[in-house]
Amino acid sequence: MNNKLLVLITLSIFLSFALHAVEINKDIKIKSDSIEFLKENNQISFLNNVEIRSNSVRIVANSATYDDFKNVISISGRPSRIESSMKDTVFSGKANKILFFNDEKIHLIGNASMKYESISIASDLIIFNPQTGKLSS
């Protein structure tokens, strides 16, 4: 199963180099100026002008790395920014690092701040689920 996924990701990367975009799964798409496949680590690196879109969020950053073993996207920037892409839910935030999990749970790490509807929170770590609205620090 992992080999099939690796072949699919590799093929997707080679086809997308011209487009500079990769679809991690049917719900998560990543665009950047440059894409690198790190076969030995089973990772994909995205560099410069990174934009990640899913059904619930849009994230803008300097760089991101998708780790196929952990099923997580690690996003870096000073700061990286996140905002809602849902019409009925409004939120935005920023942090030095964002972890975006396959189930769309999000960790904002380092100088993190988040606004969700009428709530504002700032902390070194904010854990957020855009699907349920659960927010913790």
pLDDT 10s digits, 30-53: 999 999 988 888 899 999 999 999
User: In the 3-class helix/strand/coil scheme, how is 40-80 assigned residue by residue?
Assistant: HHCEEEEEEEEEEECCCEEEEEEEEEEECCCCEEEEEEEEE
Peptide bond into 130 cis (omega under 30): no
**Amino acid letter, 35:** I
In this prediction, residue 118 carries a pLDDT of 86
pLDDT in tens, 55-101: 889 999 999 999 988 889 999 987 899 998 888 888 999 999 999 98
Question: Which secondary structure element, helix H or strand E, spans residue 5, and what is its range?
Answer: helix 2-16
CATH number at residue 129: 2.60.450.10
pTM of the complete model: 0.79
Number of domains in the chain: 1
In this prediction, residue 110 carries a pLDDT of 94
Cβ partners under 8 Å of residue 91, min gap 6: 82, 83, 84, 114, 115, 116, 117, 128, 130
Q: Which domain holds residue 98?
A: 2-136
